[in-house]
Structure 1
Amino acid sequence: MTSRNDFAARLQQLIDLKKIDQRKFSKETGISETQISKWLNRVVKSPRRSTIVKIAYFFECNIDWLQTGKGYPYPQNEIKTAEKTLDFGTYKRASDIGKENEKARLLFFKQQCLGFFDELFEFVAEYYGPDKEGVDLFMDDLHKGFANYRDYIREKKAARKNLQTDEQDNLIANQK
């Protein structure tokens, strides 16, 4: 059993489970052997979030567990169910997984993106402001600069509106 506050123990547990040595771990992740050694010897407590994401992706483990010790090393929910039939490591595009596993794919994707979102939030706070006005400015720039994002939002809004209209029509039909 690893301590919640002991990143070194959690990392060593993953290395042992995968039955690899530090050299192979270093080579496959691009993280220096020196840095790995510093974590395992508790010279440095833990890496930054973006490195945690890289390590979690390599070991296919729960990012939050790796960083904090909270939860389980491997997801215990829908992602685990989907992993029984899918090897997420072999999929490069969302369309490869298919609609039948859309919910699991989305959960896995969100887990992979957590570290990147931390960096995005830091960027928005630093360059646009750490408040709602800063977020609004960032979103305005995003809408102006990325036609794909604008189209995506337009389609989502239309789909929501159609769903609400269908639900209202069903309610009216059921009341008659």
Structure 2
Amino acid sequence: MEHTERILAIMDARNITAYKISKDTGISESLFSKWREKPSSRVSSANLVRIAVYLDCSVDYLLGRTDTPNVNKSLKES
């Protein structure tokens, strides 16, 4: 799964529109539209961090390096 597919899946599950996340993060709304048309692994590190903070999940989760969305949650379970 591409990074953008994971981001879009979270947005869909939480009913977050491209307009809303764009407005709140300063990331171009058109970027999310491009990702819907053609998922990509090309996400700048700055945007990846902004999105992770906004979605309250780890960058590792967005990158597919873990299936646990929140770092703090995984630490509590240990």
Regarding TM over 0.5, the answer is yes
Give SS of 1:54's match.
helix
Aligned-pair Cα RMSD in Å: 2.4
Structure 1 or 2, whichever has the larger Rg, is: 1
1:80 has 2:76 as partner: no
Q: Which of structures 1 and 2 has the larger relative contact order (alpha carbons within 8 angstroms, sep 6+)?
A: 2
Q: Percent identity?
A: 29
Distance 2:65 2:39 in 1: 22
1:58 has 2:51 as partner: no
Give the TM-score normalised by the residue count of structure 2.
0.77
Equivalenced residue count is 76
Runs of 4+ in 1 over 6 A off after TM superposition: none
The residue aligned with 1:26 is: 22
* Residues 69-126 of structure 1: per-residue CA shift (max 9 Å, x gap): 1202413x6x12789xxxxxxxxxxxxxxxxxxxxxxxxxxxxxxxxxxxxxxxxxxx
Structure 2: any 5+ residue segments left out of the alignment?
Answer: none
Structure ranking higher in helix proportion = 1
Give the drift of 1:44. Answer: 4.8
Give the TM-score normalised by the residue count of structure 1.
0.38
Give the drift of 1:10. Answer: 0.2
